[in-house]
Each structure stands twice: as structure tokens, then as C-alpha cells.
Amino acid sequence: MSILVLAEHHNGQLAAGTAHVVGAAQAIGGDIDLLVAGENVGGVAEAAARLDGVARVRVADNPAYAHQLPEPLADLLVALADEYSHVLAAASTEGKNVLPRLAALKDVSQISEILGVESADTFTRPIYAGNAIATVQSSDPLKVITVRTTAFDAVSEGGAASIEALDYIADSACSRFIGEELAQSERPELGGARVVISGGRGMGNGDNFKLLDGIADKLGAAVGASRAAVDAGFVPNDMQVGQTGKIVAPDLYIAVGISGAIQHLAGMKDSKVIVAINKDDDAPIFQVADYGLVGDLFEILPELEQKL
């Protein structure tokens, strides 16, 4: 078997999720190649080559792939796919955008967001917002798979894969990039942070999220939010943790003023330790929290920040 992993990168940095996808590829077993597609991605390719277990990094460095638009990226993957038994990517907004397109062009099914590898053709994945886990078997010659990165350990660094340039240039005239508005933050990204502190509707307004910032700075944490807080306009959608936002599984998850709707739990219940701070003693979040603290968050948060 041979597996191609689509590497993800942002601003010239290899995304943390890629090492987890390589971890999933190792669970399947076989030779693992990484595809780095983008513009001026030499540094990304070098970082990718250091990942353990990677045999070869294939680099498509061309303006055609500059913004990871799915049309040229899927064409590039189609050109390479016949050499592989599996193509994997993170179940990120990028992987989810590109891989179904590849699968359809190769006339195979796509398996979304796997949680586990039973064998080279059998995988577990969440359905119904994680309220059920399906085991699915693929009979397709090519397995096209997105991986929930929090479900697999990252491979470490220490490898020295070969780097090979690809000269295939996909040409897609049906879409073009206009612009991007990316959240600027000094903090770790939500998906990869060791500690996440999230606020819900109980925060009252967007300004009060500053109360979380101080604690996040002390813990090196990412700041998230529930869908209720996003819908209420407190914070932007890219901070949303939950079924309809980001799936996180940090070592420590602190839920502040979050009642614990099923849709939020779906995004964080695999965290190792969950802390809930809420004034409502009966809030469902306490049913999944390892440590619950009932009280007024406006008193608790400053005290917590001071004492950490």
C-alpha cells in the first residue's frame, strides 16, 4: 500500500494537523508520501520532510496553487492518485473542500472525518453529530479519506524524507481568489492548543471575553466560544467550538458560561480534562465536566487569573 497525505500549510508554516494525519496514515500502514502544493512553499516542504514516517515529500510550487483553491488542487491530486491506494487529508475546511472533489473525479466514495483505523479498508467515523459511531468498509480501489486530527497522535520530528519537485500545473478557469480575512492572534490555534478556554452566552457580551484573555495568556491557551456566543454576535465564527464549528480535544478544556448543548459537547467531549464554570447548578455541561464550579463567572474569572 502507498498513501498520499495532502499537507496543509498557512503563511509558510506547516499546519500542526498534518503530523496527526501522517499518524493516521501510519495506522493504515504502507509507504507514506506528502504532497505540498502552494506558492513559495520550500520551507513548508522542508518542515514536512522532518516528519517521522514520511518517505517522500512531493512539492508542487506554483502560483496555480497559491490559495489552495479546490479546483486546481483536486486536478493535481487526480494526476497523482493512481500511484496510491489511499489519499488522506485533515478534516479541516481545506481537506473537506478538496477531497470530495478528488473522490468524485476518481469515481470513488469519500470517507469523512475518520476517528479510527480498523484495517486498511475499514474505518470508524462519527455520524449524527458524534451521537453514533459508524464502522464503514470501502471496496473502492482508491480510498479517499479525511481525518479528524484530534483522534490520532501526531508523529514526531526527526525524519529526513526526500523532496521531489512536481511540474504538473493544473489550470482551473472556473474560480479565482479574491481575498482573505484571517483572524490575527498570538495565541495557539484552537485545533492544536494544549489548553482551550471557551465562553458561552453567559459571558453577556463580546467585551467580557477579555476576562478569558488574561487566563488564556497565563495558560498558553486558545480562546473558543459556543455557538450561542457566536450567534449572539459576541465573537467571530472562527472561534466556534462544536459540531458546527471546530472539534477540539485539548489536555484541558475550560467551559465558562456555557450550558452544554449537545452541539457544543460534540466539539469538545474528547478533551482529557473538562472544567465547567457556570452559575446554573443544573447546566448539562456539569454532566461531562471533571471539575465543576458553580458561581458567578464575573467573580470567578478575575480570581482564577490572579491565582494561576
Site for another protein in 242-271 (CB under 8 A): 244, 246, 251-252, 269
The single-letter code of the amino acid at 301 is L
Considering the complex, what minimum distance in angstroms separates the CB of residue 29 from another protein? 20
Interface residue with another protein among 128, 156, 205, 210 (CB under 8 A) is: 128
User: Given CA atoms 11, 115, 238, 75 in this order, what sign does their dihedral have?
Assistant: positive
Interface residue with another protein among 27, 55, 66, 97 (CB under 8 A) is: 97
Full DSSP string of 27-75: HH-SEEEEEEEESS-HHHHHHHHTBTT--EEEEEESGGGTT--HHHHHH
Q: Would you call 83 helix, strand, or coil by DSSP? A: coil
For another protein, the closer of residues 70 and 199 by Cβ is 70
Pair 198, 241: CB distance under 8 Å: yes
Q: Which of residues 156-195 bind another protein (CB under 8 A)?
A: 172-183, 189, 191, 195
CA-to-CA distance for 306 and 291, rounded, in angstroms? 19
Q: Is 70 in the site for another protein (CB under 8 A)?
A: yes
- Quick one: CA torsion of 287, 290, 296, 302, rounded to 10 degrees? -160
Through-space distance between the first and last CA atoms of the chain, rounded to whole angstroms: 49
Span from 55-63, 123-131, 197-205, 208-216 in contact with another protein (CB under 8 A): 123-131
**Residue 97: other Cβ atoms inside 10 A:** 16
The binding track of 272-291 with respect to another protein, each residue x by CB under 8 A or -, is xxxx----------xxxxxx
Q: Is 52 in the site for another protein (CB under 8 A)?
A: no
For another protein, the closer of residues 162 and 295 by Cβ is 295
Q: Is 293 in the site for another protein (CB under 8 A)?
A: yes
Q: Is 2 in the site for another protein (CB under 8 A)?
A: no
Please state whether beta strands 13-14 and 9-10 pair in parallel, antiparallel, or not at all (unpaired).
antiparallel
Considering the complex, what minimum distance in angstroms separates the CB of residue 55 from another protein? 27
Span from 34-42, 55-63, 107-115, 207-215 in contact with another protein (CB under 8 A): 107-115
Residues that contact another protein, how many (by CB under 8 A)? 85
Give the residue from 100, 104, 101 showing the smallest Cα distance to 112: 100
Q: Is 12 in the site for another protein (CB under 8 A)?
A: no
